[in-house]
């Protein structure tokens, strides 16, 4: 872990690079919006410790696309706690990243959503293109976007530099707001645990449709 990633109680706002497999092909890239203040901003790993990332990692574990240290189950789902314990996930066949690579903040204390001008800036789009160029050389077959912001940013990126060979799948964001938005009647009367399970199954299917070679039993 980077020595910079310590729990100061403030947002670090430093770049969080993609999580890549230590070896082998990368079949699918999963793209979120931005690192969260209590999760990836502190852990330095996309989605790791982010509240919504827990459901994503659960879906990836079912596919065999990620391995989490068993100690994760004994700790709160929190990026600073994972960093302090020296924990990190290991990806297999997938890469994880964000449309914006750092936790957005104006004052170092409070999170804000990334601005469209930031997401679609030449610097940020160039970073995303470099990431895709790198992954294509490792066998990338598709992209899965989580939420409207990530989907819109990838749409802009691919409009500027089309990559017609890549399959694309879009999912609602796995936050509570995103889960409610995908439910009938905007989730009225629905149990959050049930919505989370539906999202996780949908996430597994989207990753497989994007090119991850998981066996059908993975969805059982």
pLDDT digits (tens, 9 = 90+) for 88-120: 999 999 999 999 999 999 999 999 999 999 999
Residue 82 CB neighbour total at 10 angstroms: 27
Residue 124 covered by a domain? yes
Residue 3 covered by a domain? no
Residue 18 covered by a domain? no
pLDDT tens for 18-55 read 999 999 999 999 999 999 999 999 999 999 999 889 99
Total domains, the chain = 1
Domain with 173, as residue range(s), is 28-211
Residue 218 covered by a domain? no
pLDDT surpassing 50 at residue 58: yes
Closest to 179 measured CA to CA, from 207, 153, 198, 151? 198
The stretch 191-220 carries a mean pLDDT of 84
- The phi, psi pair for 46, rounded to 5°, reads -50, 130
Q: Show the tokens assigned to 94.
A: 């997938």
Closest to 147 measured CA to CA, from 115, 177, 189, 103? 177
Provide the CATH number for the domain around residue 88. 3.40.470.10
Residue 123 covered by a domain? yes
Res. 2 pLDDT band, cuts 50 70 90: very low
Inter-residue contact 105 to 37 (CB < 8 Å) = yes
pTM of the model: 0.91
Residue 119 covered by a domain? yes
């Amino acid at each position: 872990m980077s020595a910079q990633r310590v729990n100061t109680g403030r947002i670090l706002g430093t770049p969080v690079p993609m999580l890549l497999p230590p070896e082998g092909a990368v079949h699918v890239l999963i793209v979120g919006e931005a690192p969260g203040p209590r999760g990836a901003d502190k852990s330095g790993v996309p989605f790791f410790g982010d509240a919504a990332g827990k459901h994503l990692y659960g879906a990836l574990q079912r596919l065999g696309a990620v391995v989490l240290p068993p100690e994760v189950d004994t700790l709160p789902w929190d990026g600073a706690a994972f960093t302090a314990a020296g924990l990190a996930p290991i990806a297999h066949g997938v890469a994880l990243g964000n449309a914006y690579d750092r936790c957005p903040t104006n004052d170092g204390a409070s999170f804000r959503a990334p601005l469209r001008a930031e997401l679609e800036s030449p610097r940020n789009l160039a970073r995303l293109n470099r990431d895709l160029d790198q992954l294509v050389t490792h066998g990338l077959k598709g992209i899965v976007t989580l939420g409207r912001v990530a989907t819109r940013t990838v749409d802009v990126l691919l409009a500027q530099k089309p990559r017609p060979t890549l399959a694309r799948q879009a999912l609602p964001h796995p936050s509570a707001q995103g889960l409610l938005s995908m439910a009938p009647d905007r989730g009225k009367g629905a149990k959050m645990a049930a919505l989370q399970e539906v999202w996780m199954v949908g996430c597994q299917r989207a990753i497989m449709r994007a090119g991850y070679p998981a066996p059908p039993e993975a969805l059982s």
